[in-house]
Structure 1
Amino acid sequence: MIKNIAFGAFLLVSGFISAQMTAMSGAEAKAFVTKVSSETQEIKTLQSDFTQTKKMDFLDKNIVTYGKMSLKTPNMLSWKYTKPYQYSIVFKDNKIFINDQGKKSSVDAKSKTFEKINKLIVGSSNGKMFSDPEFTVSYYKNGNSNVARFTPKSAQLLKYIKQIELHFPKNQSTVSQVNMTEASGDTTNIVFKNTKINAAIAASEFSL
């Protein structure tokens, strides 16, 4: 169960869209992508607390977990769950390192689905996710946020992910919320808060 929850975190996302959300015009989408791509070029590190809510069809209650995400460019990413259990996943050197409450393991991430998701998350800190060849991207807006929706192109990725949404608050170029719909229909919502940009991150955050 814990592994399924953690896997959902990297497949990232919840699929419903509010009634107020509308598609951006071509000019609006171009301006949004240009702004985010430009402003995120200066990001070297990013840290944030997160709350993850997982909804699964066979469970009556949502699964809510809490933790901390740390990112260091160009390709280091750490997710550390702290409540209600301890579970860590680190992406580094094309490998996935896992610490499941003291039980450690690693997986070769090269050319795997996790590697695609890792690229997308890291890309959200530098604007490169908009040009990821694995996804078709469409753009939306509502009163509070700009939203980039990613739909996988490959049949392999579509086995796991139906769509991913990254939410950017108006006048902000970092992601505040990630929503995922899996192929099964299960959804994952991750909300970030207390985000710190370019603060020093201890090397221990990327080790288990």
Structure 2
Amino acid sequence: MIKNIVLGTFLLVSSFFFAQNTAMSSAEAKAFVTKVSSETKNIKTLQSDFVQTKKMDFLDKNIVTQGKMSLKSPNMLSWKYTKPYQYSIIFKENKIFINDQGKKSSVDAKSKTFEKINKLIVGSSNGQMFNDSEFIVRYSKNGNYNIATFTPKSAQLLKYIKQIELYFPKNQSTVSQVNMMEASGDTTNIVFKNTKINAPISTSEFSL
């Protein structure tokens, strides 16, 4: 349950994009990375509503959930699902804190797969994810988005994640959508909306 929810959380949405994507040239990729890294380096907090859609082979219907994501530099991240159920996941102090409809627990995240996923999501807010040695990164684009595709290098991480895509609208440097394909073939998509940058965040957002 924890594994599915946490993995589902980070993919990073309503549907896959079928627009034709083309690979960026080396110059385009360099310019894109430089722009995102420069424009996001001063982000201290980020808040966003999200809609998550998970497709599993053995289910006829997709699982759609809604909630709020809060991030505080350098490494505090909160995912709070509000519909159709109450579920919270908080990353801080190298631990994962979970509140499953009133049932609270914690998991040591240090040096574990979940820590690497958390690091990638946090890094997406400040451009540091492009320097993550755990992934091979490819860059592409279409008419509306610049796309960074991450493929895990390690066999350990490949047991869970096959590929992660981060979508950046052409007019902004923060992620608006995340698509993930798990090793099982299941897909999770997350779309962010109503994003606020550097707005005050109550400490209660990172507590269960």
TM-score, scaled relative to structure 2: 0.96
Deviation at 1:19? 4.3
CA distance in 1, matches of 2:90, 2:80: 8
Deviates more, 1:122-131 or 1:17-26: 17-26
When residues 64 and 10 of structure 1 are mapped into structure 2, their CA distance, relative to the original with a 3 A threshold, is: closer
CA distance in 2, matches of 1:26, 1:17: 23
| Alpha-carbon shift at residue 6 of structure 1 (Å) | 1.6
Q: Contact 1:11 / 1:117 at 8 angstroms: preserved in 2?
A: yes
- Residue 193 of structure 1 is matched in structure 2 by 193
Q: Secondary structure at the match of 2:166?
A: strand
Q: Which residue of 1 aligns with 2:23?
A: 23
Q: How many residues align?
A: 207
Name the residue aligned to 1:146: 146
For residue 42 of structure 1, give the secondary structure of its aligned residue in structure 2: coil
Q: How does 1:125-144 map to 2 (within 5 A)?
A: 125-144=125-144
Runs of 4+ that moved beyond 6 A:
none
Q: Distance in 2 between matches of 1:82 and 1:76?
A: 19
Query: Does the Cα contact within 8 Å between 2:10 and 2:178 map onto a contact in 1?
Result: no
Residue 10 of structure 1: CA displacement? 3.8
* SS, match of residue 175 in structure 2: coil
Whole-Å Cα distance in 2 between the matches of residues 78 and 124 of structure 1?
Answer: 14
CA distance in 2, matches of 1:168, 1:149: 11
Q: TM-score, normalised by structure 1?
A: 0.96
- 1:55-204 to 2 correspondences below 5 Å: 55-204=55-204
- What is the CA RMSD across the aligned residues, in angstroms? 1.5
Residues 10 and 114 in structure 1, CA contact (< 8 A), matched pair in contact too = no
The Cα shift of 1:16 comes to: 5.7
SS in 1 for 2:41: helix
SS of the residue corresponding to residue 184 of structure 2 reads: coil
Identity percentage of aligned residues? 82
Q: Which runs of 5+ in 2 are unaligned?
A: none
